[in-house]
Amino acid sequence: MASRILLPILLFLLCSHGGSGAPAARRGMRVPPLGGDPVKFDFSPFLIEYKSGRVKRLMGTDVVAASADVLTGVSSRDVAIDPANDVRARLYLPSFRATAKVPVLLYFHGGAFVVESAFTPIYHAYLNTLAAKAGVLAVSVNYRLAPEHPLPAAYDDSWAALKWVLANAAPGTDQWLSQYGDLSRLFLAGDSAGGNIAHNLALRAGEEGLDDGARIKGVALLDPYFQGRSPMGADAMDPAYLQSAARTWSFICAGKYPIDHPYANPLALPASSWQRLGCSRVLVTISEQDRLSPWQRAYYATLRSSGWPGQAELYETPGEGHVYFLTKLSTPQAQAEMATLVAFINRN
């Protein structure tokens, strides 16, 4: 419960006012060694890595079991995607009596690629609500986290989950997907880092294609994690923020990709890549006080002007910070954003 209370405060400070992963030492604090083990990288408020290789996560570690949710009527269960890499997912099935199949939604959680999981209370509650309101069979993917598994591990795990869904919708495979899943209405969605993953999977699907000619109908990017070294918005006057963002991105990918790599900054993509984005529709949501919002707006504008043949939609919530909707689910603002997402999924 504590992580559900603290998360919106921490993310608001991180992405709206405090800079992306600014180390505690830079903010006038010093993180002490752990049992004589010196600090290697301070990624507060998410985690601290020590020189021994030990990682101490400061949030997003609580888990709840799959269950039949009394409030929404949604049932959930866990499945193994890739046991060798401990890639798993939690499936959510809404209660309905109709025999018709329902859309399939792959969801990727946020957490800066370093914290949270598909099984934390905040995401379990959000997916129960989303599955119930949208009437979808949701697959919430539990990918490996950095720094133990730096990028591209999260991308590879999420791609494996997408391929697992396609393979397990056939008769005689997964009981829920095969009986209820309609792959002609396949969607990807994610918040923050999960939105970044959803975009990169759609890009890969457009470049490589999917098994048996499957297509992604829509992609919902909820306050997606996009950044770059080039100054944008208010951060044009804040070089310390840009340096900190580049440093933390390097930590997430173990220095393999610069922050202006298309993984982090889609604006670096050529127009031909945008044109091949492998979906028919894209929804981008923005929270007004999110420090990442200039990149999010630029993503939407670039997609619309790229020659991509699909439909792009932008939705902005005034007065709120990064991924506010996760912990303010009952507020009018979060309900309005949820209604927009539900309509996006169910639009013919």
- Flag whether 41 is in a domain: no
| Residue recorded with tokens 């809404």 | 94
- Closest listed residue to residue 139, CA positions, set 157, 166, 165: 165
Annotated catalytic residues are 192
The whole-angstrom distance between residue 225's C-alpha and the CA centroid of its chain comes to 8
Q: Tell me if the bond preceding 150 is cis, omega within 30° of 0.
A: no
| Residue recorded with tokens 């009952």 | 330
- Flag whether 61 is in a domain: no
- Flag whether 326 is in a domain: yes
Per-10-residue mean pLDDT for the chain, 348 residues long? 39 39 46 81 97 96 98 97 98 81 97 98 98 97 98 98 96 94 97 98 97 95 92 69 92 97 96 97 97 95 97 98 97 98 96
| Model pLDDT, residue 256 | 98
Please state the domain count of the chain.
Answer: 1
Length of the chain: 348
- The answer to whether residues 196 and 190 touch, using CB atoms and an 8 Å cutoff, is yes
The enclosing domain of 93 has a CATH number of 3.40.50.1820
Structural domain that includes position 257: 68-346
| Residue recorded with tokens 């951060």 | 235
- Flag whether 340 is in a domain: yes
- Flag whether 265 is in a domain: yes
- The answer to whether residues 12 and 321 touch, using CB atoms and an 8 Å cutoff, is yes
Q: Which two tokens stand for residue 55?
A: 């990682």
DSSP three-state, residue 267: helix
- The answer to whether residues 77 and 89 touch, using CB atoms and an 8 Å cutoff, is no
- The answer to whether residues 103 and 186 touch, using CB atoms and an 8 Å cutoff, is yes
- Flag whether 58 is in a domain: no
- Flag whether 252 is in a domain: yes
- Flag whether 48 is in a domain: no
Q: Cα dihedral sign for 57, 60, 65, 66?
A: negative
